[in-house]
Amino acid sequence: MAQSDTTNILEGKPNPVVALWRHALVQAFLNDPITLISGTFLVVVLLAVIFAPLVAPYDPQDQQLRLRHSPPFSTGTATIRTVDPPVEETRFFIIGTDHLGRGYFSRLVYGGRISLSVGILGVLLSSSIGVFLGLIAGYYRGLIDDIIMRAVDVFMSVPLLLLALMVLFILGPSFVNILIVFAVARWMLYCRVTRGVVMSLREQAFVDAARAIGCSDNRIISRHILPNLITPLLTLAALDVPRNILTESSLSFLGFGIQPPDSSWGLMLAQGRQYIVTAWWVVVMPGMAIFLTALSFNLFGVWLRAVSDPLQRWRWLKATKESKEAGVQM
């Protein structure tokens, strides 16, 4: 590592880590406290759910009925094995237990796995369909554009929750079917955004130049148009993930989402609502997880939208020495 740094200095090349740190976008992120807090929270949540077996102290399905509804910051004796003599251990429950005596922190971490997976994978599926159709409609125009946009109008006229209930009633509630719901119900937004950007880009001089030198349509779309879609699509995706999480929570609350023994934050809300008077934490904790995660994604999406807009970028880029020297180039 030291030899590489020395070589970069001798050759006049900047250290890539230092260059990344001094990048205007990174400085804008670090200098905005709200975005920094929301981004840090999302990183912590994502790491916790990815490494759930290491983070969760106990098995989320381990039932200890005599410890049911233990309050937060309480301890209790759990039976590990019922052999004679029984094997027991003392456990600490940082946010209590549920109606079956299961550690609620462990269930919250594992439930976050499914909730975030539904949110992120749902965006990937719906955006893949929407971007593909939007590219075709915006670039080729004509009859195919009319057909795709009329399909968009039809699907957008149906309320999301009603469409989700119809699909899940036919296919049955499951993790895969919920992803199908988001693929069917959310692709229109990505299609319309992609079509609008492509219609603007296809008239630009660099696209005309690519056509003049004989580039095929596939090359023009993949090498010249698609890269210019990354910023608006990332912004849209960051704002769409919390919508998917909230929709999944609503479906699970209504009984059409994730089914036991699996768990999600919405299902935890549904199972805990009847105990809200005697055990407030079984509703408050998953509710706070949904609220804070959705809020953090929204704040991060707003920041992405702002820094991608030249008219608003000045609000986020501080007048640091590095940004002045670089001309605040993104």
Q: Which of 197, 185, 199, 265 is nearest to 234 (CA)?
A: 197
Distance CA 173, CA 245 (A): 16
**When comparing pLDDT for 316 and 260, which is higher?**
260
H or E element at residue 88: strand 87-93
What is the spatial distance between Cα 24 and Cα 328, in angstroms, rounded to a whole number? 6
Q: What mean pLDDT is predicted for residues 152-157?
A: 88
pLDDT tens for each residue of 189-245: 899 999 988 888 888 888 878 888 888 878 888 888 888 888 888 888 888 888 888
Residue 328 binned pLDDT confidence (cut-offs 50, 70, 90):
very low
Instruction: Return the closest-CA partner of residue 63 out of 85, 82, 49.
Output: 82
* CATH number 1.10.3720.10 given to 33-325: yes
Q: φ, ψ for residue 57 (rounded to 5)?
A: -75, -25
| Predicted local confidence at residue 1, as pLDDT | 47
Asked whether the predicted pLDDT for residue 169 surpasses 50, the reply is: yes
Above 80 in pLDDT, residue 183? Answer: yes
Handedness of CA 298, 303, 304, 309 (dihedral sign): positive
**Residue scoring higher pLDDT (289 or 325):** 289
Give the relative orientation of helices 175-201 and 230-254 as an angle to the nearest 10 degrees.
150
pLDDT per position as a tens digit, 41-95? 999 999 999 999 999 998 888 888 888 888 999 888 888 876 667 778 888 989 8
Domain boundaries, the chain: 33-325
